[in-house]
Structure 1
């Protein structure tokens, strides 16, 4: 028995035999003597293989064999291949990624900085240089975070437009890098799908070609904090993307549509076309008669096809996303003031992607008497 090394399967079997004998009432020392080993050997075995069955032992042997194979494979690799095998997967395109990767491979492989830099294609001076960024990096980061906090629904391209409009001269890639580094993001939304019908009122067939060519109008509904409904009449110039008016009242009818259009006709002159849906407020005889009397034409979209009024629907989505969904209106008067303030911001400050990230009216905007009426 001297010098004989037991196989793991036999050790597990003898440990189970001791458990059976001990369960029959024998002491541990007597059971150990019966299997022919010393007490010290038994406890050493139990520490290493105790509680294991044959299946668990087989998996342990497989893992040990795999580890042995990997150690042999690594020992056969030349040092450069070992460095590349330990390095992060993917291309190391930036000096900062190479810098982090070199620090990572030096610890487990215990290689010199010179060898790691040569293998991964990093100059040693670049590796040792501490990146400090541009002088205005901190101030730019603060401005980006402040704009992202104030305008939570704007992405980095919109923020880039606002920065450039306010005096910065930055590339959108630099803003994107800071944006990602600071963990800023806009929640993803699923885009709506729709078919484009080519009728006379469709925005595909009748496209705006100049200012005052096509105006769009539509209604949006929301509630004050007490649960009462209010409506807004939104009228935009499709070519300039400017919000001409947002009329806010508890109820809006065809008379309110005529009043709003009359104010705009006096200030800007009538457009060639007014695009809208087939709501009762727009198809009313007095509305059509007034529009025809000033020399404009109506362009009604197909029933049940809001995508044909795409310019105004897009504006309504921005209006709801950036204004209505982010405010609690306690009274109608408060809603009128805040919505008018947002309309002026939309026209004079907010960048528009279709205008090369410039606002629709950066210097002048419609000066109209929009003093909200008390109800």
Structure 2
């Protein structure tokens, strides 16, 4: 800033000379100023003494400082408005915000960092990590093959191929590649007290049955009868057809028992196929306990409901079926993959077939000690609402 030639005290002294009777021209010649400068001084400082001039100077400085603060505050507010729709969580997002403020508003790096509260060292930091191109490519390939798999199951698949990276690195690459599976979750509601029944950790201890519905490309609907082992989580059968009656269910169960053995208990809802005379007679003839969940409580049959959700999410919603033969072959391939290749989170990310082999080879007690999966616990109806085949037969 250029230094003034005359201070306020000197200016007031010059004005006092003219007020004492000296001519303006003589005063201007004496002090080397123009007439315009003299009259400007007189308009600004006329009638003042030295203290008034100092007070005026202080007010002008204060006013200039307040104007500067106001301008800076308005600039900060404008910068924050520029970032209203930007998410500033994490170093990368803050780097983008600083770059945007510098390009859009012409702010300095220091000022932009002050506005968003970022450290300049963090803004200038550049990553030294390896690009990991091959691992990223393989992760994208697996995610494209299994579009509904999250990073945990993709990590298990990579580990099977010999990849030594930890789950934290896989998760970072999974997020950076934008492979996250978006899933709408329903609101959790309180379900009250339940009365669980402990099931022995062995195959065929308990089966669950339920139907899942879909339609062909032509619009015709079909249904799939799913049968799941609650202990090993294996899908024992998935029978698609346009119509499945109670007799058909009984026939499928008879064939399944011939291949696998008789279950200790079967659980289902109150569907008309499961409460038909054919099923009641079949249960009585084969001496298999049939347990019906409480009406309107699908969570009491949680294993088959979870399986139905996985089937719909990973197969039915991802496929377009052109006929019954196409649906049967696609569902059979998916069931085989589910049992032998797909990692199951409830079994410590083992496959159901591998977990069943462990149970068969070592026994339930050893499997519970060595295996990472907890012992299965079924969720039946609470006491007082349980219905069995004998109760339905007695009721007619």
Q: How do residues 75-94 of structure 1 correspond to structure 2 at under 5 angstroms?
A: none
Which residue in 1 is equivalent to 2:341?
Answer: 349
2:168 corresponds to 1:177: no
> CA-to-partner distance for each residue in 1:238-275, whole Å, 9 max, x for gaps?
11111111011110011221122112211221111100
CA distance in 2, matches of 1:338, 1:67: 79
Secondary structure in structure 2 of the residue aligned to 1:291: helix
Q: Say which is worse superposed, 343-352 or 284-293, in terms of deviation.
A: 284-293
Q: Give the deviation of 1:177 after TM superposition.
A: 0.8
Q: How do residues 300-319 of structure 1 correspond to structure 2 at under 5 angstroms?
A: 300-319=292-311
Distance change >3 Å, CA 332–CA 95, structure 1 → 2: closer
CA distance in 1, matches of 2:220, 2:148: 26
CA distance in 2, matches of 1:66, 1:156: 60
> CA-to-partner distance for each residue in 1:34-93, whole Å, 9 max, x for gaps?
xxxxxxxxxxxxxxxxxxxxxxxxxxxxxxx999759978xxxxxxxxxxxxxxxxxxx9
Secondary structure in structure 2 of the residue aligned to 1:274: strand
Q: Give the deviation of 1:362 after TM superposition.
A: 4.3
Q: How do residues 45-56 of structure 1 correspond to structure 2 at under 5 angstroms?
A: none
CA contact (8 A) 1:196 1:307 kept: no
Q: How do residues 348-367 of structure 1 correspond to structure 2 at under 5 angstroms?
A: 348-362=340-354
CA distance in 2, matches of 1:70, 1:335: 76
Q: Give the deviation of 1:220 after TM superposition.
A: 0.9
Which residue in 1 is equivalent to 2:33?
Answer: none
Distance change >3 Å, CA 121–CA 193, structure 1 → 2: closer
Q: Give the deviation of 1:127 after TM superposition.
A: 11
CA contact (8 A) 1:348 1:364 kept: no
2:196 corresponds to 1:205: yes
Q: Give the deviation of 1:339 after TM superposition.
A: 0.7
CA distance in 2, matches of 1:142, 1:188: 24
Q: How many residue pairs end up in the alignment?
A: 274
Distance change >3 Å, CA 306–CA 101, structure 1 → 2: closer
Larger radius of gyration: 2
Q: Give the deviation of 1:282 after TM superposition.
A: 1.1
Q: Name the Cα RMSD after superposition.
A: 4.0
CA distance in 2, matches of 1:197, 1:278: 21
CA distance in 2, matches of 1:257, 1:194: 33
Which residue in 2 is equivalent to 1:222?
Answer: 214
2:140 corresponds to 1:145: yes
CA distance in 1, matches of 2:164, 2:68: 56
Secondary structure in structure 2 of the residue aligned to 1:186: coil
Which residue in 2 is equivalent to 1:256?
Answer: 248
Secondary structure in structure 1 of the residue aligned to 2:197: coil
CA contact (8 A) 2:245 2:273 kept: yes
Q: Give the deviation of 1:206 after TM superposition.
A: 2.5
Which residue in 2 is equivalent to 1:276?
Answer: 268
Distance change >3 Å, CA 94–CA 288, structure 1 → 2: same
Which residue in 1 is equivalent to 2:320?
Answer: 328
CA contact (8 A) 1:98 1:122 kept: no
> CA-to-partner distance for each residue in 1:308-344, whole Å, 9 max, x for gaps?
1111111111111111111111111000000111111
Distance change >3 Å, CA 67–CA 286, structure 1 → 2: farther
Secondary structure in structure 1 of the residue aligned to 2:182: coil
2:161 corresponds to 1:166: yes
CA distance in 1, matches of 2:144, 2:185: 23
> CA-to-partner distance for each residue in 1:195-248, whole Å, 9 max, x for gaps?
6477xxx8x523443231111010111111111111100000111111111011
CA contact (8 A) 2:268 2:291 kept: yes
2:124 corresponds to 1:133: no
TM-score normalized with structure 1 length: 0.61
CA contact (8 A) 2:208 2:229 kept: yes
Distance change >3 Å, CA 220–CA 122, structure 1 → 2: same
CA distance in 2, matches of 1:296, 1:169: 48
